[in-house]
């Protein structure tokens, strides 16, 4: 291997290992959530799984906004234009904050209607309503932190 190849693979590992570790930790937390909910019974497990469909939708939108931001931030990182990266990050955070506040409000105000989209079972709907109201409080902070995380990755941090 040439010196350039070693440098490249060292850089890739320096970026990939922390990302892989972060994903492993996230997976482990989700696995433990499932194990704990499983001990509460199938209604609680079903309610949380169905309510998390809303989180999936939220996450997809956040990923889309953040992906657009990181494409631009990466280009400006190559130009060493930190001011443009700050503006892009600020805009992405504003968009995510506005979206997450709106999304949280809808989820908190209409949890029953949302749960009925996914299940006709009254017990699952009732358990899902409680779960959605609690989890909706985390959407804004989760969206903002995910946006910052992705932008920081694009600039090698």
> Mean pLDDT of successive 10-residue segments in the chain (157 residues)?
74 79 78 79 87 89 91 88 90 95 95 92 91 90 89 77
Contact yes or no for 104/140 (Cβ under 8 A) = yes
pLDDT at 2: 62
Residue 135: is it exposed, middle or buried by C-beta count within 10 angstroms (0-12/13-18/19+)?
Answer: buried
Tokens representing 132 are: 């959605």
pLDDT at 90: 93
Contact yes or no for 88/73 (Cβ under 8 A) = yes
pLDDT at 1: 55
pLDDT at 112: 92
Domain boundaries, the chain: 1-40, 41-154
Contact yes or no for 134/48 (Cβ under 8 A) = no
Query: At 41, is the secondary structure helix, strand, or coil?
Result: coil
Measure the CA–CA gap between 133 and 7, rounded to whole angstroms.
49
Contact yes or no for 73/150 (Cβ under 8 A) = no
């Amino acid at each position: 291997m040439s010196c350039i190849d070693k440098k490249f693979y060292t850089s890739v590992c320096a970026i990939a290992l922390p990302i892989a570790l972060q994903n492993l930790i996230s997976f482990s937390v989700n696995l433990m959530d499932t194990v704990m909910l499983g001990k509460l019974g199938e209604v609680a497990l079903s309610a949380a799984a169905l309510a998390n469909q809303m989180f999936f939708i939220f996450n997809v939108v956040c990923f889309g906004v953040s992906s657009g931001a990181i494409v631009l931030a990466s280009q400006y990182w190559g130009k060493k234009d930190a001011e443009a990266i700050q503006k892009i990050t600020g805009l992405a955070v504003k968009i995510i904050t506005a979206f997450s506040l709106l999304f949280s409000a809808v989820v908190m105000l209409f949890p029953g209607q949302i749960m009925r989209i996914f299940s006709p079972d009254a017990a699952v709907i009732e358990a899902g309503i409680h779960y959605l109201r609690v989890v909706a409080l985390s959407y804004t902070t989760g969206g903002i932190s995910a946006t910052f995380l992705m932008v920081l990755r694009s600039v090698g941090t």
